[in-house]
Amino acid sequence: MKTSTINKQEIEKFSKIADEWWNPEGKYRPLHKFNPTRIQYIRDNIVEHFKTKDKKYPLRNLDILDIGCGGGLLSEPLYKIGANVTAIDASQKNINVAKLHAKKNNLKINYICSSPEKLNIKKKFHIILNLEIVEHVDNVDFFIKKSSKFLKKDGLMFISTLNKTLKSYIFAIIGAEYVLGWLPIGTHNWEKFIKPSKLIKIVENNSLKINKIKGIKFNPIFDEWKISEDKSVNYIASFIKV
């Protein structure tokens, strides 16, 4: 029986470039471009679901668990709009970078080096983020099972990942890694991409129901990402704990 979601090769791969996390022109440049779109989507969905009224700090008093947080690119902006953030990553180097950056900016984010199955806390959260992580773990079923146990009833889980299509292979691997050089070669393994129908089935087997699902599409003319109905490459879904 599988008792770990950690893929050591994946951890080593991202640990090697951990110092690049906060360089908007470095190896994580595509993620910096991608980030505002996914943050806006998450924020809007949280506000709608929890019916928050605070305009300046719309996530005030909401507890978030950011799984696979990397250097904190999601954790920090969400903390700044009021959320109480706990963030975990299986790479100690990523956590060190995240802690240092948060300290420099006087942000009180609880960073922990862990994977969900090894996380030893009793707290449950209003929101769980699994963004750009399921395509890098071993055993997605087990990963979702262990993540969902930290979610409160009626809480939201967000998952964004890559669809398993010919188009995603051409755009996310051939295009982004080999032709344009946006990402280091080997960042993604197409065999680990997952179709929305399969992801929904896995998540719904763990006491969650689908809330919304959208595509995220890159516009090369404006050099920006937008929420879209096109889920053929990148997509983001929200689920409610039942």
Other residues' Cβ atoms within 10 Å of the Cβ of residue 190? 15
> How many angstroms separate the CA atoms of 69 and 101, rounded?
13
Say yes or no to pLDDT of 211 above 70.
Answer: yes
State whether the Cα torsion 120-126-130-131 is positive or negative. Answer: negative
- The pair phi, psi for residue 67, each rounded to 5°, is -95, 130
> How many angstroms separate the CA atoms of 242 and 230, rounded?
28
Please tell me the total number of residues recorded for the chain in this structure: 242
Say yes or no to pLDDT of 193 above 90.
Answer: no
> How many angstroms separate the CA atoms of 181 and 176, rounded?
6
- The pair phi, psi for residue 215, each rounded to 5°, is -90, 160
Provide the greatest CA pair distance for the chain: 48
Identify the band that residue 184 occupies on the pLDDT scale cut at 50, 70 and 90: low
What's the pLDDT tens digit per position in 60-104?
A: 999 999 999 999 999 999 999 999 999 999 999 999 999 999 999
The ranges assigned to domains in the chain are 8-241
> How many angstroms separate the CA atoms of 77 and 39, rounded?
8
The pLDDT, as a whole number, for residue 176 is: 60
Over its C-alpha atoms, the chain yields an Rg (Å, rounded) of 17
Say yes or no to pLDDT of 232 above 80.
Answer: yes
233 with 167: CB under 8 angstroms? Answer: yes
What the block records as the tokens of 41 is 């989507």
The pTM assigned to this predicted structure is 0.92
Residue type, 16: K
Identify the band that residue 189 occupies on the pLDDT scale cut at 50, 70 and 90: confident
Does domain 8-241 bear CATH number 3.40.50.150? Answer: yes
Residue type, 105: N
State the helix-helix crossing angle for 196-204 and 140-148, rounded to 10 degrees: 50
